[in-house]
Amino acid sequence: MMEKEFRRHLQGRKISTKDIEFAVNAIKEFEEFLSEKNTTFKSASLEVLKDYISLLIDEGRNSWERLVAIARYCNYARKNDYYIYFTSILGARNVLPDIGERLAEIAGEETRQKVYQGFKLPPLGSPQENYPRLTHTIMERMVTELSHETCQKILTWNYHKLPAEAFDEKKQRFEKASSIDEYLKNEHRRLIEDLERSMKDGQLWFEQEITPEVIEFVRRNQEICTGIRRGDKIYVTKIPYAPKQYIKEKDHVLKRYYACHCPLARSSIREGKPQISPLFCYCSSGYEKFHFDVIFGEPVEVEMLESVLKGDSCCRFANKIPQGKMK
């Protein structure tokens, strides 16, 4: 373990002394497990990590703090396959409960109880394969109890709780740009530069492994992560969750699987069941549109054009520019 370096890293992130001690001990315990399995942190397979998390669940030691501590170290030590796995089992943990809260606000507590009757999340740390059936049940009940428009309104929300302040610099750049087109073009250029830095440093870009092929894939299509304006709409295509694999894949089903970011539904694409309503992808539209909400200073109407849950090879959205905001 790179203990001294990791401690300094956590101190730089303003992590408390108590939490740093907990994190270091959690990682040491994990390395003891690896030693018992006759492997090392550097060489251990992903299956070994899954076995360890299963053990933590069985022993009741699968706390958020412990899993996040190990995930942080994996990211710091550039154990990319481990870190990507942690993001898949932790990143959307609270989305379904939060959808229930918003459902109650819009449609009432009685409807929420009908939709969420018997609802129980899998244990923290469970593989993403444990979630799609629950997602399917929630969506089936929502579609039965509510109109299409109400379902869409509930799902189109910032469920990842991104702070508006995270887009302050984008908003400033937008305000300085002479046009929306100029802003989007410059943002795409900045994106490519960011991807190139990540590749040069050997770091993940969020959960994405960046290769020359990935950079060229994004470079060729300004819609990816950035957007292109046509008329009064900005069209955006979501970058694949696993772009390196997506670019090479020929099988349509696997291509959709590599495109999907959502751990609550992703494995259902590969398995072919359960069939989750494509309406669920409006949750992704809420995430994708949020930065436009911020730069325009008001909520943006968004339309889902393509979705991997309805059979498309990517997820694509149209964001309507609010009246009076065109430039």
Query: pLDDT digits over 81-99, tens only?
Result: 999 999 999 988 899 999 9
Classify residue 325: in a domain, yes or no.
no
Query: pLDDT digits over 58-84, tens only?
Result: 999 999 999 999 999 999 999 999 999
Both 311 and 172 in a single domain?
yes
Both 175 and 312 in a single domain?
yes
Both 78 and 103 in a single domain?
no
Q: How far apart are CA 29 and CA 18, in angstroms?
A: 17
Classify residue 107: in a domain, yes or no.
yes
Total count of domains within the chain: 3
**For residue 117, pLDDT beyond 90:** yes
Query: pLDDT digits over 222-272, tens only?
Result: 999 999 999 999 999 999 999 999 999 999 999 999 999 999 999 999 999
**For residue 111, pLDDT beyond 90:** yes
Using 50, 70 and 90 to split pLDDT, how confident is the model at 1?
A: confident
Domain termination residue (choose one: 90, 105, 127): 90
Classify residue 326: in a domain, yes or no.
no
Both 182 and 298 in a single domain?
yes
Domain termination residue (choose one: 155, 176, 205): 155
Both 239 and 297 in a single domain?
yes
Both 67 and 124 in a single domain?
no
Domain termination residue (choose one: 56, 72, 90): 90
Range of the domain at 23: 3-90
